[in-house]
Structure 1
Amino acid sequence: MRDDAYTLILAAIEAGTYRPGDRLVESELAERFGVSRTPVREALQRLETQQMLVRDGRSLIVASLDHNQLAELYVVRAELEALAGRLAARHATPEEVRVLAQMVADDQKSLNDPETLARTNRRFHRQIHLASHNRYLVQQLDLVHRSMALMARTSLAAEGRSVTALSEHKRIVDAIAAGDGNAADAELRQHISKGWETRLKLEAQADHG
């Protein structure tokens, strides 16, 4: 039950049901997810320890990331994702490569739906992590992607970003399929860099909006 409550609350944050600054109330969460308050309380404590939640007086709210935290997160993400791509090019099975290619093809149907693309984007990157066949790298990338759930909106919502992101995904898959670790590394670094650049533009627009 503890793990269920934790997973449900974390998934709700990742899905944007609860956004940075939103207050999480133990009784409301218990009712929403159909679990007792004790596992919810323990899940909230765990999320606070992981800095997904912060104190606001006596309440817990979903944490937010400032500009410097975002910049630091993208630096780490670029390094780890590039390593995952390099290892996936070496270790991915033919079945894993086909799954990645199918994900890219399926995402073409969601080009005008940034929220759906954000979910499938997480699944795509997770599949690359698993294809690296390195459990310790997967664990570290899980931490990074959990923190990324604290971003208020997806960069895929920016005009034109969904189309370019999918073309970048295709190049990543092509490099992994070819067993070219250097190319997979470079394509993932470029992909993460473009995502960060897009987010910076969104931030600038919001500041002047």
Structure 2
Amino acid sequence: MAEHKAPLKDAYDLILEAIDVGVYRPGDRLVESELADRFGVSRTPIREALQRLETQSLLTRDGRSLMVASLDHTQLAELYVVRGELEGLAARLAAVHATPEEISVLRDMAAADRALADDPKALSRANRRFHKQIHLASHNRFLVQQLDLVHRSMALLATTSLAAEGRSAGTLAEHDEIVDAIAARDSGRAYKALRDHISNAYITRLKLDAQAVEAAE
């Protein structure tokens, strides 16, 4: 029997993942030759991936160089407004369309994540998986596509809001409330729970940014 291997990630996915996990941070320059060596691919797919990322505003140009973009205060606010509404809609639809199996997976995720409360980076990765599962449970392919775009832009945030003191516990409790609302098939409650969850994350983000500015002065 032939062995089935997972498809290899293309250059675009490799670079995007490196930005997402913090290998490359906002302001870092991306050099074709260095990326080709790091990922073991030729420069042509790297060049095409960089062009695609620039088109999506994930990279910005400084003369002839490309670097990871950063979000200013206004862009951050705009991103969270869109994210809150789309995530809330996903939860609303999940409350209607999620299968019992999908709800079971969400419960298992929320329970397992409690063990990560003291590891912000690991909890951040788990948080993304949890939100992605809700997106899929909405059973709306167009919404999933739009949320994928939003979450790509979230990779431009240099730190996770889960690193703030007390935020991990709040996040875990909010996840439980979201799952409970979806399981109860209460679409309005699910929408509000996820909207409040994103709002709390945004408040934490603003506090972190204010502290960073204060520390730099």
Tell me the TM-score normalized by structure 1: 0.98
For the 8 Å contact 1:52–1:147, the answer to whether it is kept is: yes
Residue 43 of structure 1 corresponds to: 49
For the 8 Å contact 1:2–1:43, the answer to whether it is kept is: no
Q: Distance in 2 between matches of 1:192 and 1:152?
A: 17
Q: Distance in 1 between matches of 2:28 and 2:192?
A: 37
Q: Distance in 1 between matches of 2:34 and 2:197?
A: 39
Alignment of 1:174-193 (within 5 A): 174-193=180-199
1:153 aligns with 2:159: yes
Cα deviation for residue 171 of structure 1 reads: 0.4
Number of residues paired by the alignment? 209
Q: Choose from 199, 202, 207 the match for 2:205.
A: 199
Q: Choose from 64, 68, 73 the match for 1:58.
A: 64
Partner amino acid, structure 1, of 2:148 = D
1:78 aligns with 2:56: no
SS at match of 1:133: coil
1:128 aligns with 2:99: no
Cα deviation for residue 207 of structure 1 reads: 1.0
Question: Aligned-residue CA RMSD in angstroms?
Answer: 1.2
Q: Distance in 1 between matches of 2:157 and 2:63?
A: 22
SS at match of 2:111: helix
Where structure 1 has 5 or more consecutive residues not aligned to the other structure, the ranges are none
- Tell me the alpha carbon deviations over residues 50-108 of structure 1, each in whole angstroms, 9 at most, x when there is no partner: 00001112110000000000000101111101100000000001111111111111111
Tell me the TM-score normalized by structure 2: 0.94
1:173 aligns with 2:164: no
Alignment of 1:8-23 (within 5 A): 8-23=14-29
- Tell me the alpha carbon deviations over residues 7-54 of structure 1, each in whole angstroms, 9 at most, x when there is no partner: 110011111111100111111111111111100010000000100001
Cα deviation for residue 140 of structure 1 reads: 0.6
Q: Distance in 1 between matches of 2:78 and 2:105?
A: 31
Cα deviation for residue 2 of structure 1 reads: 11
